[in-house]
Structure 1
Amino acid sequence: NSSAMALVKNDGVDESTFCSCQSVQDLVAHINKKFEKEFVNVDYLLKLMNTYNCDIKEFTRYAHFQSGKCSRYLIDKGNGEYNLLLLCWSSESGSVIHDHSNSDCILKCIEGTLNETRYERPTNVDVNNNIQEKKK
Structure 2
Amino acid sequence: MEHAASTMPENVDCLDSLIQSLHEVFSADEIDVEEVKTLMESYKSNPKDWMTFAKFDKHSSIHDHTNSHCFLKLLQGRLKETLYDWPEDQRCKQELQKRCEIYFEENQCTYINDSIGLHRVENSSHCDHAVSLHLYSPPFDTCHTFDERTGHRNSVKMTFWSKYGERTPYGTALSKENN
Task: Give the TM-score taking structure 2 as reference length.
Answer: 0.48
DSSP-derived class of the 1:125 partner: coil
- Identify which of 81, 84, 89 aligns with 1:116: 81
Structure 2 Cα separation of the partners of residues 49 and 127 of structure 1: 40
Name the structure where helix makes up a greater proportion of residues: 1
Residue 64 of structure 1 deviates from its aligned partner by: 3.5
Task: Report if the CA contact (8 A) 1:22-1:54 is conserved.
Answer: no
Which of 10, 21, 32 pairs up with 2:12?
21
Q: State the identity %.
A: 27
Q: Which residue of 2 aligns with 1:131?
A: 96
SS in 1 for 2:36: helix
Q: Indicate how the Cα distance of structure 1 residues 95 and 118 shifts in structure 2: closer, same or farther if over 3 A, else same.
A: same
- Where does 1:1-136 land on structure 2 (aligned, <5 Å)? 16-17=5-6, 18-19=8-9, 20-65=11-56, 70=57, 93-126=58-91, 129-135=94-100
Change (3 A) 1:16 1:130: farther
Structure 2 CA distance for partners of 1:96 and 1:132, relative to 1, 3 Å: same
Distance 1:29-1:58 versus aligned 2 partners, 3 A rule: same
Q: What amino acid is the match of 1:25?
A: D
TM-score (norm 1): 0.62
Cα RMSD, aligned residues only:
2.3
CA distance in 2, matches of 1:106, 1:49: 9
Within 2, Cα distance between the matches of 1:94 and 1:40? 28
Q: Separation in 2 of the partners of 1:34 and 1:130?
A: 39
Q: Comparing both chains, which one has the higher relative contact order based on Cα–Cα distances under 8 Å and sequence gaps of 6 or more?
A: 1
For 1:115, what is the secondary structure of its paired residue? strand
Residue 61 of structure 1 and its aligned partner are, at CA, apart by 1.3
C-alpha deviation, 1:123, in angstroms: 3.2
Structure 1 unaligned spans of 5+: 1-13, 71-92
Measure the CA separation in 2 of the matches of 1:127 and 1:118: 21
| CA drift at 1:127 | 6.9
1:48 to 1:127, Cα distance in 2 relative to 1, 3 A: farther
Larger CA Rg, structure 1 vs 2: 2
| Gaps in structure 2 of 5+ consecutive residues | 102-179
Could you say if the C-alpha distance between residues 15 and 95 of structure 1 is closer, same or farther in structure 2, counting changes exceeding 3 Å? farther
